[in-house]
Each structure stands twice: as C-alpha cells, then as structure tokens.
Structure 1
Amino acid sequence: YITGGLGTFAIFDYFTADGSVLPENGLDYFNEHADIDRYSGRAVGVLGGILTAFVLPEDFIVTCNLMPGIALVNEKVTLQDLSTYRPSNPMLYKLDVSLGVSYNTKRYYVNLLYGTGIYSTNLGYDNRY
C-alpha cells in the first residue's frame, strides 16, 4: 500500500567549542561570520510525506518512507570575538527517510530498519548549516 501522513516536529540544537566549531580549514568554505564559538537553535514545524509498504513473496515486506518538512527556527550565534547575532531567515528545511525489510514467521517478526534525517538552515551572511 501507499499512503500519506502529516505530523509535527521540534528540534533543539546547541553546540559550543573551546575554539571555533569549524575545523582549521573551515573558513576556506565559509566567511568570517561562521567563526562560531556557540550556536543555539530551537525549531517547531510540520512535515508530510509518503509512507509505503509492499508485501513480497515468502512473507517479506519492504517499506520506504519520505517525509519533507518545514519549520520556523529561533537561532542565536556567538562568534569567537563574543559578538552575537540572530540570522534574519527563520526557516529550517528537513527531510526524514526510512527504509526497511521485514520477515514474518508464525512465531517471530524480524525487521531491519534504516532511518536518517537531515536538515538545513541559514546562519546568515551567506552561511548555511
């Protein structure tokens, strides 16, 4: 079967470092506004997607789920020089994916599932996270 779904999600993200959170070559890929000492972000959003399950011969089932989402995020960035700013774009974009294979016997149900999620937000000054 193939069906759809809607849901909500929340993200709480915080990281800090003794030096910059970027590796030494990080500023080769970002500008000086990415020399981050501390980052804090909170987001609330909605997602919707396609949920599938297919019954195969020999009691196997395969599933694939794709769920994109969008959220409003409240971010605060502290740079190495201790100046702070809040990025002007409050949007966060997310994609959750799960793939699974299941086997059903009379006594047991065995499931192998892989799930991952990625998200992206704008740190301002043309830097993305």
Structure 2
Amino acid sequence: MTTDEGRGSLRRMLHRLTASEAEIEAQHLQRESARCGAMPARQCGRGQVVSVSGRLRTVVYTPRTNQPALEADLYDGSDVVTLVWLGRRHITGIEPGRHLTARGRVAVRDDRKVIYNPYYDLEPSR
C-alpha cells in the first residue's frame, strides 16, 4: 500500500467516525442513486425529463376542492423532489421509507422540484 492509499483509507475512517448519521445516510443514498443511473435531484431543472431514485421521506394525501392528490417527498441524499399523483388518495407501496425510482418531467412549484404523475418502480422492501 502506498502512502497516498494509506492516507485515503485513514481519511475515510476518520470521516465515518466524525460524520453524523444524516451525512452517512445521504452519502449512501447518493451512491445507490448513482448505481441506478439516476440523475442527482440537486441537478434536476425545470422542464427536464429525468429519472430520480431515493427514499420516500413523507407521503401525504392533500384533499383539494377540485382534485385530490397524493404527494410524496423523494430524497436521494442531495435534494428532495416531490412526486404528485393527481386524483389519487392512496397507492399501494407508496409509503414513507420505501425506495423507488421515478421518471417524469420536472416542474417547479413554490420553489420546490415537482414531478406530476411520475412513472415509478418500487424497489424491494429492505
């Protein structure tokens, strides 16, 4: 092992010891997202058709007078994309903690990235 390799492994070990649980989780989610070939959420921009992958943080039914909607915040370790299914109150498998990959066109609503009626693939429960 060269000196640079030794320093690199020592640096990684020290980072693991000093990083918060949230930092470690974010790094893990980013690696998983990259492995799926998904675009990091922080790089998604308005109008782009993207594939994002991560874990659902929250899932909320939002009753509206004209059309109900199911909203879920997908976190990939870099940013959050809100997935919105219009006209839906519940979708089996869409629940907090579930990992999924979603595809669709990014919109921006209230300064938040949103994908309406995304195509999605649920990852096996872990």
TM-score of the superposition, structure 2-length normalised? 0.29
Structure having the larger proportion of residues in helix: 2
Larger Rg: 1
Structure having the larger proportion of residues in strand: 1
